[in-house]
Amino acid sequence: MSEVTEPKNQPPPEQPEVEGQTGPSKSELKKRAKAAEKEKKAAEKAARQQELDAQKSAAEVDYASEFYGTLPLHQSQSRPRQPRVDIASLPSRDGETVLLRARIHNSRAQGSKMVFLNLRQRIESVQALMVVAPEKVSKQMVKWAAGLATESIVLVEGVVKKSPEIIKSATVGTVEVEVSKLFLISGVEARLPFTVEDADRTEAEIEASGDQFNRVLLDTRLNNRVIDLRSQTSQAIFKLQAAIGDLFRQFLQSNGFIEIHSPKLQGAATESGASVFKVSYFKGGAFLAQSPQLAKQMAIAADFERVYEIGPVFRAEDSNTHRHLTEFMGLDLEMTIEEHYHEVMEMLDSLFINIFHGLREKFKKEIDVVNKQFPADEFKWREGPEGTLKLSFKEAVDLLVEDGVAREDLDDINTENEKRLGRIVRAKYETDYYIIDKFPMELRPFYTMPDPNDPTLSNSYDFFMRGEEILSGAQRVHDPKLLEQQMRGKGIDPESMKGYLDGFRLGCSPHGGGGIGLERVLMLFLKLNNIRRASLFPRDPKRLEP
Q: Which residues are catalytic?
A: 315, 317, 323-324, 469, 472, 520
Q: How far apart are CA 444 and CA 486, in angstroms?
A: 11
Q: How far apart are CA 52 and CA 40, in angstroms?
A: 18
Tell me if residue 132 falls in helix, strand or coil.
coil
β-pairing, 468-475 vs 124-131, is unpaired
CB 456 within 8 A of CB 439: no
Q: How far apart are CA 492 and CA 488, in angstroms?
A: 5
Nearest of 469, 466, 470 to residue 422 by alpha carbon: 466
b vs e for 420-456, b when ≥16 Cβ sit within 10 Å of the residue's Cβ? bbbebbbeeeebbbbbbbbbbbeebbbbbbbbeeeee
Q: How far apart are CA 235 and CA 358, in angstroms?
A: 18
| End-to-end Cα spacing for the chain | 113
Contacts with 70 (C-beta within 8 Å, 6 or more apart), sequence order? 183, 184, 187
Contacts with 79 (C-beta within 8 Å, 6 or more apart), sequence order? none
Read out DSSP for 204-266? HHHHHTTS-SPP--HHHHHHTHHHHHTSHHHHHHHHHHHHHHHHHHHHHHHTT-EE----SEE
What DSSP character marks residue 6?
A: P
Strands lying side by side in the sheet with 284-288: 265-266, 284-288, 278-281
Residues written for the chain: 546
What DSSP character marks residue 144?
A: H
Contacts with 151 (C-beta within 8 Å, 6 or more apart), sequence order? 103, 104, 188, 192, 195, 196, 227, 230
CB 261 within 8 A of CB 311: yes
Q: How far apart are CA 363 and CA 429, in angstroms?
A: 26
Q: How far apart are CA 254 and CA 479, in angstroms?
A: 30
Angle at 330 between CA 416 and CA 530, to 5 degrees: 40
Nearest of 321, 335, 339, 437 to residue 388 by alpha carbon: 437
DSSP bridge partners of 313: 328
Q: How far apart are CA 271 and CA 443, in angstroms?
A: 12
Q: Write out 492-504 in H/E/C secondary structure.
A: CCHHHHHHHHHHH
